[in-house]
Amino acid sequence: MQIDTVNPATGKVIASYEAESSEDVGRKVRLGREAYAKWKKVDLGERAELMRRLGRVMRKNREDYARTVTEEMGKPVRQSLAEIEKCAWVCDYYAEHAEVFLRDQIVPTEFRKSFVSFEPLGVIASIMPWNFPFWQVMRFAVPALTAGNVGVLKHSSVCLGSGMKLDQAFHDAGFPENVFQIVIGDYRVGEALVQADIDAVSVTGSLNTGRRVAELASAGMKKFVLELGGSDPFVVLEDADLNQTAHMATQSRLLNTGQSCIAAKRFIVVRSVAEKFTKLFVENTEAEVVGDPLDPKTTVGPLVRDSQRQALAKQVEDARAKGGKVLIGGNPVKRDGFFYEPTIVSNVGHDMDLVREEVFGPAAPIIVVENEEQAVREANNSEFGLGASIWTNNIERGIKIARQIESGLVSVNEMVRSDPRLPFGGVKKSGIGRELSEFGIREFVNIKSVVVKDIQSRLLVE
């Protein structure tokens, strides 16, 4: 089966790839198993040095990698460059901190010695999406491989060129053969990978993808980490700096053309400032530049596929039909490619798809509430719980509310971002497990307890 990658800014085919078979998947997993036998014995300091080299490869090739990302999925090129730089950062971070994260932990007991060790699991599969084609892979692969595991990646069919460049990057950094591999195919190849002789799997994707992977992995008693969808609340309180907040609302909603799990999705605004915030939000959104994502001036590119644009249009039309007021945008852009106007909708209700579902595109519903208590209830009124942001000039108030929000990450007066230094993941239907920081590197290790007791001997006297 042939898989074509398509430039979403033009609708034209970039390249074609031949899908691999389940037999190919099994063979690569076996090669990974053989590589693991040697890789796990490599000194941690040597593995860390290879990660430093990988970071240098990322920075050396950042323009080439960024162009590939932009051409395959439409991200504005300035954002693609930032994504590659973040990949280099995660390499540097684990190279510097892995020794501390994986060091034996001594536990005082009545025994001679008791400690906890962190040992690799083996062959880790990963199934990754198209919206951050380099970063999503690296935030899994860097900690997993640094810990002594090997990885087999099934990347999205949208961004196979990015997958190939990642494979080459590990090779150029000097990693041993088959420590990092990729398999090419659609969901059937992904299922074959999960069912192969792997030890664990990491998935970033949709709720349906996560459910299916969890089902298959559980059948084989294989560990899984799932980072799934989000419907992040952006809570604006009456004491927020509205100029700054409206600017950040636009950035948070339109980053990656709104195609991000942790983009702000539901804008929850206290009534006393709703009119002013809405006006500023519209003005900031009007100033965004929709266009060729390879043009550095562009801030909003195309959606990844026409099907994605149609799904967004359907959500906006559903809101219109149920009484929503479109304040700006609300239509496809009349040009080549899969562009959609940045859109803001007011007068929304919970019966609207724009509020109930995850919105993966440049559309923002504004939900007006009476006070802080109602804002918290509204923020938690979702099946998702990935990220959230609180906007207030009272820091202690912001922290108090952050503790009440049901999500894996809450930012006060900052847009939600993943960060190598902090654990990343969600609650409810947003996922299971964590990536990044010391928590992420320990997801794919055997946390082993070791207890040592002295042998009691008696002196026998005749």
Residues labelled catalytic: 227, 261
CA–CA separation, 434 and 437 (whole Å): 9
HSE-CB for 322 with a 13 A CA cutoff: 17
Residue among 163, 178, 195, 201 at smallest CA distance from 32? 178
**Alpha-carbon separation of residue 219 from 90, 126, 136, 382, 419 (angstroms):** 33, 17, 26, 29, 33
Alpha helices (H) along 255-333: 271-286, 306-321
Based on its alpha-carbon atoms, the radius of gyration of the chain, rounded to whole angstroms, reads 24
First CA to last CA distance, the chain: 83
Q: Are 428 and 388 in contact (CB under 8 A)?
A: no
Three-state secondary structure along 337-395? CCCECCEEEECCCCCCHHHHCCCCCCEEEEEEECCHHHHHHHHCCCCEECEEEEECCCH
CA–CA separation, 265 and 389 (whole Å): 11
Is 408 strand, coil or helix? coil
CA–CA separation, 280 and 320 (whole Å): 22
Residue 360 CB neighbour total at 10 angstroms: 24
Residues 198-227 as b/e (b if ≥16 CB within 10 A, e otherwise) read: bbbbbbbbebebbebbbebbeeeebbbbbb
State the sign of the Cα–Cα–Cα–Cα dihedral 11, 12, 15, 18: positive
Q: Is 29 exposed, middle or buried (0-12, 13-18, 19+ CB in 10 A)?
A: buried
Contacts of 338 (CB under 8 A, 6+ apart): 8, 9, 11, 74, 302, 303, 304, 305, 306, 308, 309
